[in-house]
Amino acid sequence: MHHFTYKDGVLHAEDVSLPRLAAEVGTPFYCYSTATLERHYTVLADAFSGQDAVICFAVKANSNQGVLATMARLGAGMDVVSEGELRRARAAGVAADKIIFAGVGKSRDEMAYALREGIFSFNVESEPELIALSDVAAGLGVTARVALRVNPDVDAKTHAKISTGKSENKFGVPYLDAPRLYTAARALPGLDVSGIHMHIGSQITDLAPFRDAFRLMRDLALDLRRDGHEIHHLDIGGGLGVPYHGDADLPPHPDAYARLVKDLLGDLEARIYLEPGRMIVGNAGILVTRVLYAKAGAGKRFTIVDAAMNDLLRPTLYEAYHEVWPVAAARASSPKSLQDIVGPVCETGDYLATDRELPAFEPDDLIAVMTAGAYGAVMSSTYNTRLLVPEILVCGAEYGVVRPRPSYDELIGLDRLPRWLSKA
């Protein structure tokens, strides 16, 4: 569910009309709905009511300060994968002891910064990283709480580029090697290895892969405890999908997901940490773009808009599908034609939608690209020296520009000329 609906003939974000935002902010822009963010978080939190569970929002899905502050106000912790994301989480008001640091390539400087901040735990993904973290923590005279990320070799049945739990993926340590590594870690100074972490992928729409992974996690926790290891928390990752195709691909409800966790892990008396990102923010955001031109190709129509692959990379990178809605309700009932929605970037891969039967959009029409709140703005770039897209957060009848569009002077001003080119 989301809060983007037609009112008085035009698409609104909650009670704010998108034509108004387009006139006042300019296009293209991202728009996020506070009500949707709050609803999705609350539905998930309610599903885990009665379990000892902590929701840590995956900052990589959407790192805007307005979004993070909304999550923090609701009580969320954060899952971060870089020092920059950790700094963003702290700036948004998230307590350090509700932050988990994940990722395969943490530098020693990042480890030291996180330890000084006093974060809850590190998800460690290799033996060399374990040794490095021990060295950094011991050098600082502190103890790092650790969960080893264990790769269960489970096929999440999702896109290959967002599958993380198979043996050929770069993430985690092999499941069969985990007992040896827990024993080795126990002998290292500066570490409290008291958790297990598994994350098998993203945009998962079937509970079966979760069931397989959680059974393996349960078996490993019991085996480790029999060997004398204290396992106090289980980090089950994220990955629950969202409906990019409307009602055609509905993922499992959070209630069913929470029941699965309780059934397989609930009797272990370990605190559960979960790291949703897309599930909370995906449907809470859209990308609004304006039609520049419409031209006829040999076999289909090309609708050229002012947003491009640098603004929303998912269709090009993942062959991702996003629904496309006209902002004017009347346009939705006009005759449809086969078309691609493409941008101005000089790449054949610059498209937002391909081979769609959509209304015959005309220049100056506004289009909403739906379910763009996750992995949209965070993956944008300035390719072709295009300005980053502004981000808008709506709350009821109010809106705020939570990331303004920079100027060309600001963008070009990031560059510096070397001494031999800067001479008069």
Assigned domain for 83 exists: no
pLDDT of residue 163: 45
CB 251 within 8 A of CB 205: yes
pLDDT of residue 276: 95
3-state SS assignment for residue 148: strand
Angle at 374 between CA 369 and CA 379, to 5 degrees: 90
pLDDT of residue 282: 96
Assigned domain for 420 exists: no
Domain extent, residue 265, equals 103-274
3-state SS assignment for residue 34: helix
**Beta-carbon contacts of residue 101 (< 8 Å; ≥ 6 apart):** 80, 81, 86, 110, 114, 119, 121, 122, 123
Do 408 and 362 lie in one domain? The reply is yes
Mean pLDDT, rounded, for 212-234: 95
Assigned domain for 46 exists: no
Do 153 and 295 lie in one domain? The reply is no
Do 226 and 244 lie in one domain? The reply is yes
Do 303 and 167 lie in one domain? The reply is no
> Cα-flanking dihedrals φ and ψ of residue 220, to 5°?
-65, -45
Do 118 and 189 lie in one domain? The reply is yes
Annotated catalytic residue: which of 31, 56, 346, 395?
A: 346
Assigned domain for 217 exists: yes
Element holding 402 (H helix, E strand): strand 398-403
**CA atoms of 371 and 346, how far apart (whole Å):** 25
**Beta-carbon contacts of residue 121 (< 8 Å; ≥ 6 apart):** 100, 101, 145, 146, 147, 195, 233, 235, 273
Burial of 131 (0-12, 13-18, 19+ CB in 10 A): middle
Do 110 and 234 lie in one domain? The reply is yes
Do 110 and 236 lie in one domain? The reply is yes
pLDDT of residue 330: 95
Mean pLDDT, rounded, for 167-195: 87
Assigned domain for 235 exists: yes
Which residue, of 274, 299, 326, is where some domain finishes? 274
Do 265 and 294 lie in one domain? The reply is no
Do 207 and 251 lie in one domain? The reply is yes
Is 346 an annotated catalytic residue?
yes
Q: How does residue 205 score in pLDDT terms, banded at 50, 70 and 90?
A: confident
Helix axes 127-140, 178-186, angle to 10 degrees: 20
- Report residue 5 as tokens: 């609906």
- Report residue 322 as tokens: 């996003």
Nearest to 355 by CA among 369, 338, 343, 368: 338
Element holding 237 (H helix, E strand): strand 233-237
pLDDT of residue 200: 84
Write the CA distances from 320 to 243, 323, 351, 371, integer angstroms. 12, 10, 11, 11
Assigned domain for 201 exists: yes
Of the listed ranges 40-44, 71-75, 165-169, the least confidently predicted one is 165-169
Peptide bond preceding 406 in cis form (omega within 30 of 0): no
Assigned domain for 350 exists: yes
Q: Domain of 327: which CATH number?
A: 2.40.37.10
pTM score, whole prediction? 0.93
Do 136 and 245 lie in one domain? The reply is yes
Mean pLDDT, rounded, for 174-184: 92
pLDDT of residue 164: 47
pLDDT of residue 139: 98
Do 330 and 385 lie in one domain? The reply is yes
pLDDT of residue 145: 97
What value does the mean pLDDT of the chain take? 93
The DSSP code sequence of 110-146 is HHHHHHHHT-SEEEE-SHHHHHHHHHHHHHHT--EEE
Of the listed ranges 75-89, 161-175, 214-228, 357-371, the least confidently predicted one is 161-175
Do 204 and 148 lie in one domain? The reply is yes
Q: How does residue 247 score in pLDDT terms, banded at 50, 70 and 90?
A: low
Q: How does residue 166 score in pLDDT terms, banded at 50, 70 and 90?
A: very low
Q: How does residue 171 score in pLDDT terms, banded at 50, 70 and 90?
A: low
Which residue, of 255, 274, 293, is where some domain finishes? 274
**Beta-carbon contacts of residue 41 (< 8 Å; ≥ 6 apart):** 55, 57, 71, 74, 76, 280
* Cα within 13 Å of Cα(160), Cβ side: 3
- The number of folded domains in the chain is 2
**Beta-carbon contacts of residue 280 (< 8 Å; ≥ 6 apart):** 37, 40, 41, 44, 57, 61, 71
**CA atoms of 407 and 399, how far apart (whole Å):** 21
Q: Kindly state the percentage of the chain with pLDDT values over 70.
A: 95
Q: Does pLDDT of 344 surpass 90?
A: yes
Which residue, of 229, 251, 274, is where some domain finishes? 274
**Beta-carbon contacts of residue 57 (< 8 Å; ≥ 6 apart):** 41, 68, 71, 76, 77, 78, 79, 275, 276, 277, 280, 281
Assigned domain for 361 exists: yes
CB 263 within 8 A of CB 352: no
